Chain A
Amino acid sequence: MSSLSNPLPEAEAQCRQLAELLRPQRHRQPTLVGIHSGGAWIAERLRQLLELPEEIGLIDVSFYRDDFAEKGLHPQVKPTVIPFAVEGRHIILVDDVLYTGRTTRAAINELFDYGRPAAVELAVLADRGGRELPVAANYCVWNVALAEGENLALDRDEAGRLTWRLEHV
């Protein structure tokens, strides 16, 4: 696992790398589901790069989170939109950063309320370790170690360009 480089790697270039990792799966007619908000931006980019015919799905896991009792409902919930039948499909969940694995768990739970997919895989730009659940990414372009109190956030500017930002929390 590499520690953090300065400047941060280019998120747009990483999206292209991730697309190449996914390309061999195209014969399975995968459909992409992005997790709000960073994952949704990446999924949209991957769909263009891979020229997938179908609209991507969007998931906001706020209604499925396991920390509702401590933190309450997230103040800005976005609607989940799954514009295709989940039943029997090969679904690739897309997120920006894989960390504890709890968001992935919530997203899989939510997905199954729409039907029974044939398979679910996970594609992320960054894996920062720190797992609290048995979750692993099938496709990942950047393994990175972050210091205590550091957080990676993905931004999208007005032109739609994706960039990494380091937060101190």
Chain B
Amino acid sequence: MSNPQLNDKGELSHLLSIEGLPPHILTQILDTAESFMEVSARDVKKVPLLRGKSVFNLFFENSTRTRTTFEIAAKRLSADVINLDINKSSTAKGETLLDTIDNLCAMHANLFVVRHAASGAPYLIAEHLRRSGRDDVHVVNAGDGRHAHPTQGLLDMYTIRHYKKDFTQLCVAIVGDILHSRVARSDIHALTTLGVPEVRAIGPQTLLPKHLDKLGVHVFHDMDEGLRDCDVVIMLRLQNERMNGALLPSAGEYFRHFGLTPQKLALAKPDAIVMHPGPMNRGVEIHSAVADGPQAVILPQVTFGIAVRMAVMSIVAGN
């Protein structure tokens, strides 16, 4: 089957998922993002690449942070950004997703940034655009259901490369609710594609998907064991609704076993970095002393995220 993200020349035309992308495309995005880091540090934080283009932020699910970083990224590329508050708009009146897309295309949209609670919604849109012959309109997945969050995965890779340089010598641990996490899925695919030899998943049995080993991931239910000698620790947000869904006894209990404290972090390599996609629950998955400590790179992740989204949007819009 052909990859729906790539055009007939094998170039990235939509970013839907990290899965199935060749390493050179991931590297191209990270390299391009490095050049955009410099743009964000200037007085005039703008380049004219997407001047005159319209970027529509379609967030069918709320996320102020991700939407804001996409908006900043698009504006630094000189695009016009239109934020649609979908909950209050036509969808609430019964319009289908694809009718919404057709209408926005009729308004000359060039790029859709899509966040949706349903896994596969961005695929559906990309497929619909292809069938309608609109290869000039591009889709970037900003998180779909439990499936993928590719720009978060890429900004995590950017962060790891920035601090650790070489992927092929690393041990990376992902800790927490991997079962419901699209970030974890995108991270795992990106890490294995870029040649990280040891990827670990740490969490309670109820929050780890089955068959993780098939993705080349080592599973640990004991955090002390799993963190030993890691170079990178990626903490995941524990969603409150998991607590009510009987998957976990209590936040306190979870923190005792899987919260990242300075004592637990000491088991990892002394120069290990700590990452978190945000928003953090202090005292649930991460201790404040770690979150604010010297090994945390959580705020740089946010800065890198803008450069990575600029890279993704400028690459897909040009293909």
Residues of A within 8 A of B (CB): 60, 62-64, 68-69, 71-73, 75-81, 109-110, 113-115
Contacts and interface: CB of A to CB of B under 8 A. Distances in A.
A80 B32 CA distance: 11
B42 A114 contact: yes
Contacts of B38: 79-81
B44 A79 contact: no
A132 B319 CA distance: 25
Interface of B: 11, 28, 31-32, 34-39, 42-44, 46-49, 314-315, 318-319
B48 A77 contact: no
A94 to B, nearest CB: 19
Contact of B35 (A62, A72, A114, A115): A62
Contacts of B37: 79
Contact of A63 (B11, B34, B43, B47): B47
A73 B32 contact: yes
Dominant secondary structure of chain A at its interface with chain B: loop
Given A71-B318, A72-B315, A73-B314, A113 B46 contact: yes
Given A113-B43, A115-B43, 14 more contacts: A63-B47, A68-B318, A73-B315, A73-B318, A75-B28, A76-B31, A77-B32, A77-B35, A79-B35, A79-B37, A80-B35, A113-B42, A113-B47, A114-B44
A16 to B, nearest CB: 32
Nearest to A109: B48
Most buried by B among A72, A79, A80, A115: A72
A77 B28 CA distance: 9
A73 B31 CA distance: 12
Nearest to B50: A68
- Residue among A73, A76, A115 with max Cβ neighbours from chain B (10 Å): A73
Nearest to A65: B49
Contacts of A78: 35
Contacts of B32: 73, 77
A78 B38 CA distance: 10
Q: A64, A68, A76, A77 — which one has the most chain B CB atoms within 10 A of its CB?
A: A77
Contacts of A73: 32, 49, 314-315, 318
Contact of B39 (A63, A68, A76, A115): A63
Contacts of A109: 48
A69 B48 CA distance: 12
Contacts of B35: 60, 62-63, 77-80
A113 B11 CA distance: 30
A169 to B, nearest CB: 19
Nearest to A80: B38
16 contacts: A63-B36, A63-B49, A72-B11, A72-B319, A73-B315, A73-B318, A76-B31, A77-B32, A79-B35, A79-B38, A80-B35, A80-B38, A81-B38, A110-B47, A113-B43, A114-B44
